[in-house]
């Protein structure tokens, strides 16, 4: 336990309603209680969520592909510093055969009809890691997005009709009953691989080009 005093977030369920029951034992850390569900559905600050799910011992990696799972879909807002969850059901598809040095991409579909039915890209670490790594990835990306949005606002204020696009990132807590058994970050799948196209200078196919350059 850290000695650093925590700043209370006025919107965080856990800050406002500290759990008075006995602290969870390490083997029960990833079993979600009624209090946890209430907190996650109502919204918890980044610090409270990390405190609840941080573990140096328990590392997760999803090894069951092409299966449907119940999950909690977690979104982070930098403006309010709150994580809020929705119950959902996801289908974890096949690997996209795209591997970075640390993470790999997997097809994810939301079976919950509230989400649009398009495909999402899930990212999991190649080696099992603590859930906090996924949560910190999303927090970092959504913090960057917050500043991109502020920048876009200032462009509009100056009548510059341009926008920088940024792909939002969210977290999925994969559940087995009430137990968290995995974690992925998810991003909407963008049609067309712009990075690949712009990097692909040597293999440029000139057949369909109208203008030489």
Instruction: Please state the separation of Cα 111 from the chain's center in Å.
Output: 17
CA dist 191 and 169 (Å) reads 16
Q: 153-192 mask for Zn ion (x: CB under 5 A)?
A: ----------------------------------------
Token pair 């606002």 in the structure block, residue:
153
Q: Is 60 a residue that touches Zn ion (CB under 5 A)?
A: no
Among 32, 45, 173, 174, binds Zn ion (CB under 5 A): 45
Of 14-22, 105-113, 167-175, 190-198, which segment contacts Zn ion by CB under 5 A?
A: 14-22
Terminal Cα-to-Cα distance of the chain (whole angstroms): 61
Q: Which is nearer to Zn ion, 81 or 124 (CB)?
A: 81
Question: How many whole angstroms separate alpha carbon 130 and alpha carbon 91?
Answer: 22
Q: From the list 39, 48, 138, 186, which residue makes contact with Zn ion (rule: CB under 5 A)?
A: 48
Taking CB under 5 A as the criterion, the residue among 12, 40, 71, 72 binding Zn ion is: 12
Strands (E), the chain: 44-45, 67-77, 82-99, 103-110, 119-125, 170-176, 179-188
Task: Please tell me whether residue 9 binds Zn ion under the rule CB under 5 A.
Answer: yes
Binding stretches for Zn ion (CB under 5 A) = 9, 12, 14-15, 45, 48
């Amino acid at each position: 336990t850290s000695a650093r005093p925590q700043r209370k977030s006025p919107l965080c369920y856990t800050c406002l309603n500290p759990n008075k029951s006995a602290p969870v034992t390490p083997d029960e850390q990833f079993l979600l209680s009624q209090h946890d569900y209430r907190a996650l559905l109502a919204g918890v600050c980044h610090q409270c969520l990390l405190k609840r799910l941080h573990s140096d011992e328990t590392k997760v990696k999803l090894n069951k592909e092409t299966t449907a799972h119940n999950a909690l879909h977690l979104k982070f807002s930098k403006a309010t510093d709150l994580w809020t969850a929705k119950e959902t059901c996801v289908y974890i598809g096949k690997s996209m055969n795209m591997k970075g040095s640390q993470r790999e991409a997997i097809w994810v579909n939301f079976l919950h009809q509230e989400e649009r039915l398009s495909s999402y890209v899930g990212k999991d670490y190649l080696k099992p890691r603590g859930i906090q790594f996924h949560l910190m990835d999303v927090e970092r990306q959504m913090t960057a997005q917050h500043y991109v949005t502020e920048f876009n606002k200032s462009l509009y204020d100056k009548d510059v009709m341009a926008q920088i696009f940024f792909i939002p990132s969210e977290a999925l807590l994969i559940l087995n009953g009430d137990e968290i058994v995995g974690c992925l970050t998810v991003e909407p799948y963008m049609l067309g691989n712009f990075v690949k196209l712009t990097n692909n200078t040597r293999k440029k196919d000139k057949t369909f080009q109208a203008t030489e350059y």
